[in-house]
């Protein structure tokens, strides 16, 4: 089994077995750390990882969170809330602009939001697409590039194109680095609103 350090861990073979039986005994099943359940446990350290056993220095280990890890979820919630904290005043005008057949006004509002790095949640964006005005591909590409919590798109009936390109096929974000990537910009040139430099 490959460890975080890049070293390979091979469980020890019991010494009590005769050499002819040592090759026949399967190694013990790898288990997660009994304390944190984030890293592999070592049988020599009572199935604790290097951090929980005290043999490692947490400040020298790059963090690896699982998506459901409470520590990661806390950081993620703070990050998302920071990205949407100023969007409340835009929601009413987005609703009015989404009713229009022409998406020019909607694009102008989103351009202003992009310059201020203001985003929407998957929950806020879905009604703009399906419940307000025409449901078009252009409108979809315009709105979905502002969904900051794109991993939550799977909780709503977004269509296949939206889930594929903007929702990362319904996968959770890669949790080795924080924060997760920003939403993809549209590949349609007329609708694409790039991030400020």
pLDDT tops 80 at residue 176 = no
Query: What is the pLDDT, as a whole number, of residue 24?
Result: 63
Given a contact cutoff of 8 angstroms between Cβ atoms, the answer to whether 139 and 129 are in contact is yes
Q: How many Å is the Cα radius of gyration of the chain?
A: 24
**Domain count for the chain:** 2
Query: What is the pLDDT, as a whole number, of residue 117?
Result: 96
3-state secondary structure (DSSP) of residue 119: coil
pLDDT tops 90 at residue 177 = no
Query: What is the pLDDT, as a whole number, of residue 61?
Result: 66
Q: Tell me: do 76 and 22 sit in the same domain.
A: no
Phi (first) and psi of residue 49, to 5 degrees: -80, 175
Q: 183 lies in a domain?
A: no
Q: What does the alpha-carbon distance between residue 95 and residue 133 come to, in Å, rounded to a whole number?
A: 9
Domain hosting residue 20, numbered range = 1-61
pLDDT tops 90 at residue 46 = no
Q: Tell me: do 46 and 80 sit in the same domain.
A: no
Q: Tell me: do 45 and 117 sit in the same domain.
A: no
Given a contact cutoff of 8 angstroms between Cβ atoms, the answer to whether 30 and 40 are in contact is yes
Tally: H helices and E strands in the chain = 8, 0
Residue 35 neighbours by CB under 8 Å, 6+ apart: 48, 49, 52
The chain-wide mean pLDDT, for the chain, equals 86
Q: Tell me: do 98 and 152 sit in the same domain.
A: yes
Least confident among 38-47, 117-126, 182-191: 38-47
3-state secondary structure (DSSP) of residue 49: coil
Query: What is the pLDDT, as a whole number, of residue 82?
Result: 97
pTM (two decimals): 0.70
Q: Tell me: do 74 and 33 sit in the same domain.
A: no
Q: Tell me: do 165 and 116 sit in the same domain.
A: yes
């Amino acid at each position: 089994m490959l460890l975080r350090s890049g070293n390979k861990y091979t469980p020890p073979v019991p010494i009590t077995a005769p050499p002819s039986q040592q090759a026949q005994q399967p190694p013990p099943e790898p288990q997660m750390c009994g304390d944190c359940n984030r890293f592999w446990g070592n049988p020599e350290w009572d199935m604790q990882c290097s951090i929980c056993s005290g043999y490692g220095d947490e400040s020298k280990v790059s963090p690896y969170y699982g998506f459901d890890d409470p520590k990661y979820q806390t950081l993620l919630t703070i990050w998302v809330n920071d990205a949407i904290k100023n969007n409340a005043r835009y929601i009413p005008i987005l609703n009015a602009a989404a009713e229009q057949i022409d998406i020019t006004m909607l694009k102008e509002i989103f351009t202003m939001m992009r310059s201020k790095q203001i985003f929407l949640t998957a929950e806020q964006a879905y009604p703009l697409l399906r419940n307000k005005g025409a449901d078009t591909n252009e409108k979809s590409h315009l709105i979905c590039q502002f969904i900051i919590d794109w991993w939550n798109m799977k909780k709503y009936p977004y269509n296949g194109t939206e889930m594929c390109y903007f929702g990362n096929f319904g996968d959770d974000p890669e949790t080795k680095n924080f924060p997760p990537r920003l939403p993809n910009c549209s590949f349609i040139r007329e609708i694409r609103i790039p991030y400020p430099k």
